[in-house]
A and B are shown apart, each in its own frame.
Chain A
Amino acid sequence: MSFSLVNILGTMPEIYLTFFGCVILILDTMIPNEKRSWLAYFTIASLIFAMIASYGLNGKGLPLYQGLYIIDPFSNFFKMIIYIAAIITVLFSLPYLDREDIHIGEYYAFILFSTVGMMVMVSAGDLITLFLGIELMSLCFYVMVGLKKGSHRSVEASFKYFLLGAFSAAIFLFGISFLYGATGTETISGIAAFVANPGSLKPMILLGIVLTLVGFAFKISAAPFHMWTPDVYEGAPTVVTGFMSTASKIAAFGVFLRVFWVSFSADKVDWNLLIVILSILSMLVGNLVALRQTNIKRMLAYSSIGHAGYASMALLQPNRESLFALMFYVFVYMFMTLGAFGIVLMLRKSGEEGEDISDLVGLHKRHPIAAFTMLVFMFSLAGIPPFGGFLAKFYVFFAVIHAGYAWLAVVGIVFAAIGAFYYLRIVMLMYMKDPESSVVFNASSMGRIGLLLTAGMTVFLGVYPTPFVEYIKSSLAIFIP
């Protein structure tokens, strides 16, 4: 392996973030406790720095390290989303961590390291590199989920996530080993070349496809591999939940697109049925179970399972429409989901988080702006125009019908109608009932910036998405001409 300058330069954003993560760990020991918020500013600055560096690399479809690592507009698009999600997460963290008494410097380092893990995932040109990325991300999340050491739920969630995550990683690795055994290579392009050859070893490749698919389904929390989601989302500190439910899922979708559409596009017929089953089950579980939830974090967890179902429908046909639909979907999804978690983590009642749905009752009376922001997220998640969530759903159904699965679109529509109810219920409780509990909405100025950013983008993406649509179109040009 040669360490030429091009390789180093191409991976500079990852190197920067790793370096800054280490700097944070050192700084943490030097600065006094009450100055810890400086670390948050430092984290945001380093994320923006890496973002600019990534932007500078845009448009160069470079296979680095002999094809192990790919820098192209497609991976850059996903990296941009991950950066933005990380920045918003840090914006939300500041008062929250102090109030929960978990404000430690390592938190910011973990945010940066997990970001690096996700960047490696979406840039991986090789299954082993991909596995390294997934593990780097997951290990950081295992720790962050258990950050509330004193909380029973948090520790339990961390342990559960770790065990199930280890299982899924093993299954994924098992799948890779089958693929390697069948094809003799782990690079994505090498596998693609082998699969396209009609004389390929079919059963082993199929087994490899199924096992790797299970690994991905676990990461995007698609049913029936969703069991960990509600418990982990509920137990984890809410900032971490927000970050996990957006960035890590989005990275997994990016990986999925690359691995499956490039490697296995010749075998498409074989895994399409699996995708159909995954998406229908996810929409079913996500939307129906969410109806019965009383904890808003659990409700949002099921809602995210449902959204994974909608988004997976766009994976069926490797063409421009599907790719655009998926990229637009994850882009909008990131803002609206992160924003909804942002509202939840700013609700406080007598020293703890207001995470029961009943805590939202009558929010409009006390905090009209917070209630209106939540209304925007809820209607957007339900897919009602003029918010971004509508266009996201629209493009998914557009792609599904284009792919010739009109019946699947009908199924999706039915679940969308059912799902609208629990989002509406939140709006109804906020606006149409009188307040009962003593919940206060407590936002810092950084939190307000985060909410403004997420809500503003949710509206903007529904009303005038043109600049972002152009950006996505230019990002997918290399992937699918």
Chain B
Amino acid sequence: MTQTAKSYDRIIIGAGLYGLYAALFCGKRGQSVLVLECGTEAFGRATYINQARVHQGYHYPRSISTAVKSAGYFERFNRDYAFCINREFRKVYATSREFSWADGAQFRSFCKAAGIFCEELHPGQFFREGMCDGAFLTREYTYDAMILKEYLLEQIAGLPHVELRFAVRVAEIGKLADAYELTLESGERFRSGFLLNATYASVNQILALLGYEPFGIKYELCEIILCEVNETLKKYGFTVMDGPFFSIMPFGKTGLHSLTSVTFTPHSTSYESTPRFSCQERSGGRCSPAFLANCNDCPARPESAFPYMAALAGKYLKEEYGFTYHSSLFSMKPILTSSELDDSRPTVIRQYSKAPAFVSVLSGKINTVYDLDEVLSDGD
């Protein structure tokens, strides 16, 4: 291995939204950028496999800080990426009468405090009698990850000094005096004075290569169910809050709805610093606590929980809102353990070192991607 390491201004690990956004951001500033992705394509995991919400904060009635932050970026994201946003549906948030941590009145005052739009509706219009004590028309959209991906890749393609490498795995990372040096499994080596770890569920696995302090997270293997819906449901997105309930809402511009539930979407949980699951043994050597493979195309992916989620949704929704199973998507979701109580979802950006810089980002929301701007422009 006498090959010399190629140098870049920025090296980014992970080609999800945060990775590609950062690549484009830096590329536009004339920096040379290398993006390393272990999958064969961009947006292969969490950026694609989630509820595709563009949050305005409704989801966090117990964390006003998260709500206010999402609301701030909501307008900007919808403006910048308008082409991939689906606004053609009415989004209804409802509070369950039983077992909810917040009731209708509390949700209303929360929206007022966060300064986000909410108009009270009659719960009986959508939900079975006695199931919900509040229903609200809100302003929330969904984004189409695949359209967003095409756009970002197209933009990046116009920048000759931004390079994307797919199907490569980082084997080693070493810290030199003024740069980080990455060695791929193939033996190739790269160097940069700025390394961004935007690997979401694999964040701690990359940190482990450097021996840096891991994020305090737990892992949930999650299933997003795609459903075909009837004409009545097509016009709506529903989310029942705030506890063991469900969401059924348009999945970008695909014409399908995503169905998720708090209790049945997570199939299994790992509380270790790096993800350890029993299904890894059945993955045929592809997946381990040190390297997380893509759950969605894994041979050991679990059986769908559709009957459970459908029963839950059917318990609340009136019969005229019909849906049938289309397919399932699986992905790994890291959740900060510190945010369990208030259910907040902060975007955490940690700078482990400056000159050379090493930054890790962990966020569960797409529209807070702008949080990266500050750290990316740092030191220029």
A interacts with B: no
**Taking beta carbons and an 8 Å cutoff, which residues of A are in contact with B?**
none
**Taking beta carbons and an 8 Å cutoff, which residues of B are in contact with A?**
none
